[in-house]
Structure 1
Amino acid sequence: MIKLSGVIITYNEERNIEKCLKSLTSVVDEIVVVDSFSTDNTKAICEKFNIKFVEQEFLGYIEQKNFALKQASHDYIVSLDGDEALSRELQESIIKLKSNWTVDGYYCNRFNNFCGQWIKHSHWYPDRKLRVFNRQKAKWKGINPHDRVVMNSFNIKTNRLKGDILHWSYQTYSEYNLKIEHFSSISAKSYHDLGRKAPIWRILLNPTWAFFRSYFLKLGFLDGLNGLIICIQTANITFLKYIKLRELYRNKT
């Protein structure tokens, strides 16, 4: 029977971290929390649980999560963010894996809660994530802030688990606006570091396509007003990313 490590990164997650930890306690053999020196009650809440708590200055989303993987005692990982938790069905699916691990990594659907509403359409569901995996065969990659687990080779086998990762994303529209401003700046900087450009046609076309795909092709309109807001902001963050990228190149000259 394999042993599992639950691995979480946190910063000011007092609102959600207890739900996250409770969902893992009966599933994994250890829990590792890597915290970026939270200024709220995150640390105090974590200390109520039998966990390994590590404080580390934030290195970047991808870098911080790879650092956290190294703190685990076991190679088999269940990775969550501090605002996520395992559904009961997913807990049961992962427990069964401990005596029947057959592939190298497992995908789960992520179910996102936005301003009190569980979002069932657009690009928010099923929001497929590879979060249960052998760390010897995978690592966190991507372009900050859009991190993802990537298997190390093409002949790796994966499967899908029943159940959802429950994600409490944003409680208010104001909070969502602030995050979009923050994430678009990180994305623009990452694109700039990679040498990507921001021609006018991208600034015009990419946000338009992002809205059309999410609202119509991915049926975002079925989630009502919040579905519309999400799809508009999906276009907005794409627009902001490219105009900020263009600004970075202009300021460089």
Structure 2
Amino acid sequence: MNSLAVVIITLNEERNIERCLKSIRDLADEVIVLDAFSTDRTPEICATYSVRFEQRAWEGYAASKNYLNSLATSDYILSLDADEALSTELYEEIKAEKAAGFQGTYCVNRLTNYMGKWIRHSGWFPDVKPRLFPKAGSYWSGEYVHEELVYPACELQTFKGVLAHYSYYSYEDHRARADKYSLLTAKKFHARGKKVGPLKPYISALGRFIAMYFIKLGFLDGWKGFKIAQISAQSNVLKYQELRRLNREGK
């Protein structure tokens, strides 16, 4: 049997963290929360659970997750976000696999809850990501946003149970975070020397809306599918407008 650490990064996650911690009950040999100095009840809630709670200034997604992984002493790591929770089926699958002995790296399929509705289209599902991996030889890569897990060459498996992702509680929350990621992506593109023309923001936005709402069947998600496509398109405009600004100013 391999030992297992569950690791979670937090910043003002009082709305989500308890649900996450409850979903991993008695599963791990150690649970470590790395908090970027939350000002809400996140530390207080974590104190009621058997977790190792550490605080450290935010250094970006990849750097923070790599530091968090370094704190683990277990053979394997399950990396979760505070707004995620294991479904009962996924919990049982991981528990059984742990008893048998982990082999290789494991993916989970995230199912997003968008203001009370489970989104099964719009390009949001399936959403398969490697999340359970050997500590040795694994690390997160990505300077700005959309960090990716680099793991040793090994067998890759996917659990059947879903990882519930409670992403957004309002349209305003969605727009704010989408814009945040767009600005970070613009910085990443600029650092790589990417340049775009004046029509790119609008052509890209139109393409994004058509892809998400029609090609990826977002209309089957109802009004929320429309809003997901709309907000994604609007943030695409921001991303390329910001990239053009950075290109002009040469920052």
TM-score, length-scaled by structure 2: 0.94
Name the residue aligned to 1:229: 227
Name the residue aligned to 1:103: 103
Name the residue aligned to 2:60: 60
**Is the 1:122–1:215 Cα contact (8 Å) retained in structure 2?**
yes
Counterpart of 1:149 in 2: which secondary structure?
strand
Matches within 5 A, 1:166-205: 166-200=164-198, 202-205=200-203
**Is the 2:175–2:235 Cα contact (8 Å) retained in structure 1?**
no
Counterpart of 1:186 in 2: which secondary structure?
helix
- Deviation string 1:55-111 (CA, Å, 9 cap, x unpaired) is 010000111111111111113011101111111100001001113345321111101
- Could you tell me how far 1:137 is from its partner in structure 2? 3.4
Matches within 5 A, 1:1-253: 1-101=1-101, 103-142=103-142, 144-152=144-152, 155-200=153-198, 202-252=200-250
Cα 1:199–1:151 change in 2 (3 A) is farther
Question: C-alpha separation between the residues in 2 aligned to 1:213 and 1:150?
Answer: 29
Letter in 1 for 2:50: N
Question: C-alpha separation between the residues in 2 aligned to 1:216 and 1:58?
Answer: 38
- Could you tell me how far 1:232 is from its partner in structure 2? 1.5
- Could you tell me how far 1:144 is from its partner in structure 2? 2.8
Question: C-alpha separation between the residues in 2 aligned to 1:143 and 1:122?
Answer: 27
How many residue pairs get matched? 251
**Is the 2:205–2:237 Cα contact (8 Å) retained in structure 1?**
yes
- Could you tell me how far 1:48 is from its partner in structure 2? 0.5
- Could you tell me how far 1:198 is from its partner in structure 2? 2.5
**Is the 2:182–2:236 Cα contact (8 Å) retained in structure 1?**
yes
- Deviation string 1:160-193 (CA, Å, 9 cap, x unpaired) is 1121111111111111121122221111112222
Matched-pair identity in %:
40
Letter in 1 for 2:112: N
TM-score, length-scaled by structure 1: 0.94
- Could you tell me how far 1:156 is from its partner in structure 2? 2.4
Counterpart of 2:206 in 1: which secondary structure?
helix
Letter in 2 for 1:120: R
- In structure 2, list runs of 5 or more residues that go unmatched: none
- Deviation string 1:2-31 (CA, Å, 9 cap, x unpaired) is 110000000000000001011112211110
- In structure 1, list runs of 5 or more residues that go unmatched: none
Question: C-alpha separation between the residues in 2 aligned to 1:74 and 1:171?
Answer: 34
- Could you tell me how far 1:143 is from its partner in structure 2? 5.5
